[in-house]
Amino acid sequence: MKHFYNQMSTYSTLTGSYGYSPSNEQAAWFAIVFTAANIHGEISQEAKETFSKLITSKVLFRGHEILDYYSELMEIQDELAPKEIIKKAAKLVSPEHAPTLFCMVTETLLGKGYLTEKEEDILNFIGIKLLLDRATTDKIMDVILLKNKWNSVYN
């Protein structure tokens, strides 16, 4: 009987995901990059450092409280699958910003110099949801792979 009461109902899952939309484009960027970096259930130190540096250097985030976007994402993170969060957030990203955002996600994930299978999958998904053509995503991947080729992860 205890097992039954600990299960989330289908109704609560559907209603929780139905209404989610990031508050603005900056929140969408944050949701996409953070969700991709957290694909294994935790964010590496390299990813945290890269993400922090990249997001604070963008004019798009000037005058915005990043912690607000973090709080917004934490409210729904346990209710929605990563791809669902990314799908909903990608709708708010303007087409002219999509390549830069994809570059930011790629650089965050490649800070350690390689991608896991899950990371490759999520990057492909993000490229599709941002409506980027394959040539653009491949070019971004190639450049960032070259940039981070000899990176090493220290424990």
CATH code: domain of residue 119: 1.10.3680
Tell me if 10 is assigned to some domain.
Answer: no
Does the CA dihedral 50-56-57-59 come out positive or negative?
positive
Tell me if 124 is assigned to some domain.
Answer: yes
Length in residues, the chain: 155
Please report the pLDDT score of residue 21 as a whole number: 93
Please report the pLDDT score of residue 151 as a whole number: 67
Please report the pLDDT score of residue 130 as a whole number: 98
Please report the pLDDT score of residue 105 as a whole number: 97
Domain that holds residue 102: 23-147
Mean pLDDT, 10 residues at a time, over the chain (155 residues)? 37 50 96 95 88 90 93 92 96 97 94 88 97 96 84 55
Contacts of residue 109, Cβ cutoff 8 Å, sequence gap at least 6: 36, 37, 47, 115, 119, 122, 123
Residue with tokens 């981070």: 148
Cα 69 from Cα 6, distance rounded (Å): 29
Tell me if 64 is assigned to some domain.
Answer: yes
Please report the pLDDT score of residue 74 as a whole number: 93
Cα angle for residues 97, 42, 56 (degrees, 5° grid): 35
- CA within 13 Å, CB half, 52: 8
Tell me if 66 is assigned to some domain.
Answer: yes
Please report the pLDDT score of residue 153 as a whole number: 56
Q: How many domains does the chain have?
A: 1
Tell me if 8 is assigned to some domain.
Answer: no
Q: What are phi and psi of 74, to 5 degrees?
A: -65, -30
Tell me if 127 is assigned to some domain.
Answer: yes
- Other Cβ atoms less than 10 A from the Cβ of 29: the count is 25
Please report the pLDDT score of residue 45 as a whole number: 86
0.95 surpassed by pTM? no
Residue 105: alpha-carbon gap to chain centroid: 6
Tell me if 7 is assigned to some domain.
Answer: no
Tell me if 3 is assigned to some domain.
Answer: no
